[in-house]
Structure 1
């Protein structure tokens, strides 16, 4: 019979049975707690093993790493090796010669200012002359002249086969020589002080010194040409000024002579003084005639012929005085009767022109004398403060510096190319 079916009544338990059931459940709980304590103790003494990841795979070079490495070799190490081998194995030693000079000018007085008592500088500005010399040292003209003297092409082409970098090809044209001249010659110019420092490099110390001496010699020749041109211009200008002053003086004198011939008066001032003397004399005669007339009138009658003669004398003197006075203000200019105010103005103008022309002519003569004296001395000259030196050891090419610069440049180029590659790779 099934006691668990629905509606079945459970049997009635006695107190003893219930007590045993409780003890049994208590014992089960204690056993379960003891098992849990034992398991906890075991877990403390022996923790569970953690999970271990699998070991990483060994690294290996990828194609891009090989490309970067080959780029370092091809773009940095190999060119640097070639540069080092060339500089230390094939590049020829170069010796440097140094020289320094400046353009100086003498102080003198210009010819025109000598007449006025002033002083000045002639010969132009030192700065402009130094600028001309600075450009001349780097020009084709000086290269042609030094080439004709020292044969630059032959000296710098002798090592063309073994050292083409620091040499020039044997069939170089004059334009090529001018370009190469800028490589072997360095000129430093301070415009404030006018000082020039020139450095010339060559395959031997003696040849470098010869080149430096040639530069100084050609510079002096250039300064002499500037002097000659300045002297020629000075003499030409002085002669032109003298001719103009002489023509002006001749014209002024001719105008004065024409005035005297036309008026038949040498000096209107003296003529006026003479005529004023005549008037004064007539005034005195008139006064005397009036006195004589009054005296005669007191002793004789008016019908006396002497009275008539005295009156006639007075009238003639008065007419003469009036005529002389009219000559000073009349507008009718003739040979014998002239307009004195206008003549005096013309004469004074002519005299002033002649005096100015004479002073100008005197100043022009002084200028010509000063120009001639300047021709006899050199107003511009080249002052050499460092004579061409002779090197005892080769300073060039600066191999260590060139190798270092090449290493820096090649490394930067390789790094830039590598960064560009990785940037494009990441974006792609």
Structure 2
């Protein structure tokens, strides 16, 4: 039979190690949590990024209504922005985070140090602001502070800043959607102004509002002269057959024919269809050609302007059909009791961690002892 078990020196060592490595640290941690650690109050706020597409009039008549959907990319952007350095700096500028998080007189574990850098503030920020969101695009912020009013104030400021960011993203998206249309519209406006100024300068220079109408009058005059010339020629032929040489009527008819032919030649030269040399002035053919060129340029500029204006209106309408905004499903709450730190849970976890480590050390000790 085996002899009675005796308590050896190694057994007392194991007990001493348990007291030193498990019991004492666990008691110290528990005392710190229950007597030194400051209470933290939690404020929750929940919202979602929505992108509402407004349907056109035809869609409404067809029985469709505006659809509201969540944008996962906007949710990801907002998640990263809330945890970013820019957000920390904005909240610090508005609420003085250093004063808010260093309020406990002595709490080196859960409170922020008196003098910290922005990098240390970034390390501390996720402990006080926790962001949760699901695949449906719902975002929930759990904000902690050492007083309930400060927690609610910080949650409200975070929501306002997130809303401002989403509005800025929406404005940027609208600007990007209409930038090209605005550039084309401005170019067409400038082209139309130049074309109209050129036509106005032409009318001032030539003193003719509409050369087409003016030349129609000139052609009427030329046709009248042609008719009178034909009458004079017929009268000349009659006088040649019925009168003798030297008849003064014949001389008058010949003179009238010469005057009419000279006038016809002058009018034709003015219209640009004569064969004579010009007198240095612009002919009607050149005037009409220049006017038609300016008129075509003006018509092209007007059509381009109407097209670009329609494209701009369509781009603005398309940009306004999709609008991003935050919709709140949980307004910032105000706590009545402290919810952090969870003293019982933290005490149990610390004790369990110490116990596991102590058991591992004891097993290592006995394994080494058995190999001797």
TM-score by length of 2: 0.61
Q: Tell me which structure has the larger Cα radius of gyration.
A: 1
Equivalent of residue 267 in structure 1, options 210, 214, 218: 210
C-alpha RMSD of matched pairs (Å): 5.9
Counterpart Cα distance in 1 of 2:330 and 2:277: 80
Counterpart position of 2:104: 159
Counterpart position of 1:278: 221
**Alpha-carbon deviation of 1:182?**
2.8
1:167-316 maps to which residues of 2 (within 5 A)? 167-188=111-132, 193=137, 196-219=139-162, 251-300=194-243, 304-307=247-250, 309-311=252-254, 313-314=256-257, 316=259
Counterpart position of 2:341: 397
Equivalent of residue 93 in structure 1, options 39, 46, 49: 39
Deviations 1:110-132 (A, max 9, x none): xxxxxxxxxxxxxxxx9898777
**Alpha-carbon deviation of 1:146?**
4.5
Task: State the aligned residue count.
Answer: 340
Pick closer, same or farther for the CA change 1:405–1:80 going to 2, 3 Å. same
Deviations 1:309-358 (A, max 9, x none): 44554455445445544533589997874244443343234345556777
TM-score by length of 1: 0.54
Counterpart Cα distance in 1 of 2:275 and 2:349: 99
Pick closer, same or farther for the CA change 1:68–1:246 going to 2, 3 Å. same
**Alpha-carbon deviation of 1:274?**
1.9
The gaps in structure 2 that reach 5 residues or longer are 55-70, 311-322
**Alpha-carbon deviation of 1:200?**
0.5
Note if contact 1:332-1:338 (Cα within 8 Å) is conserved in structure 2.
no
Counterpart Cα distance in 2 of 1:309 and 1:177: 115
**Aligned-partner SS, 2:112:** coil
Counterpart Cα distance in 1 of 2:276 and 2:354: 105
Deviations 1:83-141 (A, max 9, x none): 55554554443221111345678999xxxxxxxxxxxxxxxxx9898777656544556
Pick closer, same or farther for the CA change 1:321–1:331 going to 2, 3 Å. closer
Note if contact 1:331-1:339 (Cα within 8 Å) is conserved in structure 2.
no
Pick closer, same or farther for the CA change 1:106–1:281 going to 2, 3 Å. farther
Counterpart Cα distance in 2 of 1:394 and 1:343: 92
Choose between structure 1 and 2 for higher RCO, CA contacts under 8 A separated by at least 6 residues.
Answer: 2
Indicate the larger mover: 249-258 or 326-335.
Answer: 326-335
Counterpart Cα distance in 2 of 1:58 and 1:75: 29
Pick closer, same or farther for the CA change 1:127–1:283 going to 2, 3 Å. farther
